[in-house]
Amino acid sequence: MVARKAFPFPLFGIAFGLSGLAGTWTVAADALHFTIGIANALWIVAAGAWLISLVRYGLGARTVRQVLADAHHPVQGVFVALIPASGLLLGARLSQYWSVAGKTVVVIMAVLTAVLAAYFVHRLMLGGLELDQIHPAYLLPTVAITFIGGQTLATIGLHELGFASFGVGVLLWLVVGAAITVRLATRPLLPAPLIPTFAVYAAPPAVGGNAYFALTGHPDAFQHAWLGTFVLFLLVQLALIPTIAKLPFALTFWTMTFTTAAAGTYGIHWLVATDAPLRDLWTIVILALVTLWIGWVAVRSILLVVGQHRQTPAAAR
């Protein structure tokens, strides 16, 4: 019997990116007053991808010791945060239709979020990591999931806990973000497989901004200041497009999808909050760009997997 190939944590980025796309369609449907059916279909696809990924990971002859070893990996371990990140978003959406089940999922994932954040900060404090092993995805188990936790806790009515989670995210963005910036500025360029994680470096302003909208419901002075950081990091990401365009396509491109969706969602929130001129037109443009990018990644992923499968000798399957 042939052992199943390991399912690496970064591939949970597929469900994470699809959840982000579903979120953008949900906000756009509310802004444009059209049917929520497409958004709900995307949420179902995202939930399916998340559950399949969990099963696939578990079928890889995993033990608790192996899971801990995977999470402790200095490069890929941080991607374990993609599991509760997607779970939080899916639970919050489920709560709109099945309150008890959705809230239960969010609370369980929020607890896991707190454990992971504490675990990875603890690891950084103990040392032992090489500076070259640190990369932007270290923001996932520290900053991204705490901001998403703030957003989803607010969605289920736990605003006080949501603000607490948001506050943790701000603190860890300052601390962990500084370490990542030092690594990027003083060491050689990231290896090609990790270059897509540049998108994670730009994620906190968009993800945090969406969380703050969920917590407050309207832009205030803090949100306006936060918008400035979003614009700066967005410009940085645009400047990185030529670097990313040189990369051969790989499934790690899914790492970039959630940031794109979160940025689109944040932009639509601002269009609605300010009742901007041509609001509906700009919302459609943002929705189209987000959908086209993530759709392109999805199609290329399918073609890549099919191509690899055809090249695999039948005896090796």
CATH classification of the domain holding 141: 1.50.10.150
Mean pLDDT, rounded, of the chain: 93
Residue 222 contacts by C-beta under 8 Å, 6 or more apart in sequence?
212
Residue 294 lies in a domain: yes
High-pLDDT (> 90) share of the chain, %: 85
pLDDT at 313: 56
Q: Which of 94, 103, 108, 82 is CA-nearest to residue 11? A: 82
Give the residue-averaged pLDDT of 202-218. Answer: 96
Residue 312 lies in a domain: no
Residue 38 lies in a domain: yes
pLDDT at 2: 43
Is the pLDDT at 317 greater than 50, yes or no?
A: no
Lowest mean pLDDT among 7-21, 125-139, 247-261: 125-139
Residue 56 lies in a domain: yes
Can you give the residue range of the structural domain that contains 276?
9-306
Q: Which residue has the tokens 């001129």?
A: 277
Give the residue-averaged pLDDT of 213-224. Answer: 95
CA 244, 290, 215, 12 torsion: positive or negative? negative
Residue 2 lies in a domain: no
Is the pLDDT at 35 greater than 80, yes or no?
A: yes
Residue 1 lies in a domain: no
Residue 315 lies in a domain: no
pLDDT at 173: 97
CA distance 64 to 215: 36
pLDDT (tens digit per residue) in 119-167: 999 988 888 888 899 999 999 999 999 999 999 999 999 999 999 999 9
Distance from CA of residue 20 to its chain's centroid?
7
pLDDT at 279: 96
How many folded domains does the chain comprise? 1
CB atoms within 10 A of CB 104: 15
Residue 146 lies in a domain: yes
